[in-house]
């Protein structure tokens, strides 16, 4: 819903380029240590004009809360207000990812927030009210898992082909969503299972689409301790997995087999072959390394039935090369806690990796830079990869960054840090009353501001 209620300074287009939203103009300094912004003329839902003070308030508040997206703007040191429409955001160290991270920061009406901050920086207030400038205004505060939004006709990007109102309904069950689509009680769904999506695809007046998103299924190794510290063991596991079988039978074909650490939708990816199964090569690799009769342990989240089936598939695949795989369930909070030390990182962990916005550095830095304790899922440390990623962070030149990201991915793939299984797809379904229903480039779900009446 925040997509409809709020604006960000910048966002991304379909080609993964940063483009203006509330920022009419923006520029990352050559050394990537500051961002200069000129704001467009825009108003909040109460009629208050957007100013640089609102941007400063929002960023300062985000850092003060230290939650959620605050982890993406580490290094923010302050905002200098030049005048009502111009400002400069300063960073404590070069960070080329900061500009993209602004696509996740919803700008708040500082005047409204000043009246409603309370003792929690306005978190309780915002749970039932909005302080945004987006194309829609919050109607009710969520009654019985239903939220109503009304179009904001003074929006800076006003388009009268947008629906005049939106009603959000929380429906967790795929079968129920399918039935409601058929009955015409909902117009848009992005939670259908493969089976239900195929069943509803032939219904009159309903369009079903399946598109890849910035989500990749992986098996991360502990590359520091235990048998998986041996690169040959990691490579053998990579070769043993049945990628095509897992994608087709478990994920319903909704995706593409991976060829490296980044999802296929990212730009700046090396030209490398997709991973494939080769049991004979896997067996030979273990024999040459003297690692026969091996026993490994992998954790997975049983709440996701696909993961449970993928874990069982790998267990069967490894048995074919003489490796015993023990499977252990784990709750996600416990998994996050285990990432604080290489001594507690699981030997193997089945997990999906998701990008908040489509800059290659978002996933590469958080997952593979050695100083990223808590998000580096393997305890991976490669001085050359660290050097490359830090060089990318310190340049504002997109072409130079792209070349560096490609080098980093080649090194990461060569080190066999994970079993990169497949980039996953999102299924969306909608009635013929609406158009413009597509996966969000920034975040997850669908991009609500793009929806129009057919």
Interaxial angle between packed helices 360-368 and 383-393, expressed in degrees from 0 to 180 and rounded to the nearest 10: 140
Give the integer Cα–Cα distance in Å for 148 and 139: 5
Q: Which CATH superfamily is domain 213-425 in?
A: Dipeptide-binding Protein; Domain 3 (3.10.105.10)
What is the per-residue pLDDT for 113? 97
What pLDDT sits at residue 142?
61
What number of other Cβ atoms are within 10 A of residue 130's Cβ?
26
Q: What fold, for 136-205+431-453?
A: D-Maltodextrin-Binding Protein; domain 2 (3.40.190)
Q: How many helices (H) and strands (E) in the chain? A: 15, 18
- One DSSP character per residue, 150-209 reads EE-TT-TT--TTS-SEEEEE----HHHHHHHHHHTS-SEES---HHHHHHHTTSTTEEEE
CATH of domain 2-118: 3.90.76.10
Q: What is the residue extent of each domain of the chain?
A: 2-118, 136-205+431-453, 213-425
Rg (alpha carbons) of the chain, rounded to whole number = 23
Give the contacts of 423 (CB within 8 A, at least 6 positions apart). 212, 213, 215, 216, 255, 256, 258, 263, 264, 265
The per-residue b/e assignment along 313-333, b for 16 or more CB within 10 angstroms, e otherwise, is bbbebbeebebebebeebeee
Q: 359-391 pLDDT, tens per residue?
A: 999 999 999 999 999 999 999 999 999 999 999
pLDDT per residue rounded down to tens, the chain (454 residues): 999 999 999 999 988 899 999 999 999 999 999 999 999 999 999 999 999 999 999 999 999 999 888 988 989 999 999 999 999 999 999 999 999 999 999 999 999 999 999 999 999 999 889 999 999 999 876 666 889 999 999 999 999 999 999 999 999 999 999 999 999 999 999 888 888 998 999 899 999 998 888 899 999 999 999 999 999 999 999 999 999 999 999 998 989 999 999 998 888 999 999 999 999 999 999 999 999 889 999 999 999 999 999 999 999 999 999 999 999 999 999 999 999 999 999 999 999 988 889 999 999 999 999 999 999 999 999 999 999 999 999 999 999 999 999 999 999 999 999 999 999 998 999 999 999 999 998 988 899 999 999 9
Cβ–Cβ < 8 Å for 78, 92? no
State residue 141's pLDDT score.
61
Residues linked to residue 149 through DSSP beta bridges, in sequence order: 138, 166
């Amino acid at each position: 819903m925040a997509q409809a209620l709020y604006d960000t300074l910048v966002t991304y287009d379909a080609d993964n380029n940063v483009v203006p939203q509330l920022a009419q103009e923006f520029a990352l300094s050559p050394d990537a240590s500051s961002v200069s912004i000129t704001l467009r003329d825009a108003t909040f839902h109460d009629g208050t004009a957007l100013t640089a003070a609102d941007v400063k308030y929002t960023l300062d508040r985000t850092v003060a809360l230290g939650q959620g997206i605050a982890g993406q703007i580490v290094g923010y040191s302050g905002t200098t207000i030049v005048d009502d429409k111009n400002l400069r955001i300063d960073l404590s160290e070069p960070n080329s990812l900061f500009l993209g991270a602004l696509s996740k920061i919803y700008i708040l009406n500082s005047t409204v927030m000043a009246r409603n901050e309370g003792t929690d920086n306005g978190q309780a207030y915002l749970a039932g009210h909005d302080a945004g400038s987006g194309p829609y205004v919050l109607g009710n505060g969520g009654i019985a898992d239903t939220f109503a939004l009304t179009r904001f006709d003074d929006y800076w990007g006003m388009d009268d082909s947008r629906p005049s109102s939106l009603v959000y309904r929380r429906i967790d069950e795929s079968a129920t969503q399918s039935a409601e689509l058929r009955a015409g009680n909902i117009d848009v769904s992005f939670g259908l299972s493969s089976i239900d999506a195929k069943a509803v695809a032939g219904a009159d007046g309903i369009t079903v689409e399946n598109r890849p998103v910035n989500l990749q299924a992986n098996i991360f190794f502990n590359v520091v301790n235990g048998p998986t510290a041996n690169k040959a063991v990691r490579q053998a596991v990579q070769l043993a997995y049945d990628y095509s079988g897992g994608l087709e039978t478990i994920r319903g074909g909704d995706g593409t087999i991976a060829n490296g650490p980044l999802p296929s939708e990212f730009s700046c990816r090396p030209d490398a072959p997709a991973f494939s199964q080769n049991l004979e090569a896997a067996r030979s690799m273990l024999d040459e390394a003297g690692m026969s009769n091996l026993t490994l342990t992998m954790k997975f989240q049983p709440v996701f039935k696909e993961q449970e089936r993928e874990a069982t598939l790998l267990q069967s695949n490894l048995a074919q090369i003489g490796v015993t795989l023990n499977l252990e369930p784990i709750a996600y909070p416990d998994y996050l806690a285990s990432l604080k030390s290489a001594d507690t990182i699981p030997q193997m962990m089945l997990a999906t990796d998701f990008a908040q916005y489509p800059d290659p550095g978002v996933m590469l830095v958080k997952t593979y830079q050695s100083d990223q304790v808590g998000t580096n899922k393997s305890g991976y440390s490669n001085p050359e990869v660290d050097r490359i990623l830090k060089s990318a962070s310190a340049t504002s030149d997109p072409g130079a960054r792209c070349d560096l990201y490609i080098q980093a991915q080649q090194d990461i793939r060569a080190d066999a840090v994970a079993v990169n299984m497949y980039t996953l797809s999102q299924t969306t379904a909608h009635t013929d009353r609406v158009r413009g229903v597509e996966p969000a480039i920034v975040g997850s779900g669908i991009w609500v501001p793009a929806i129009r009446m057919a």
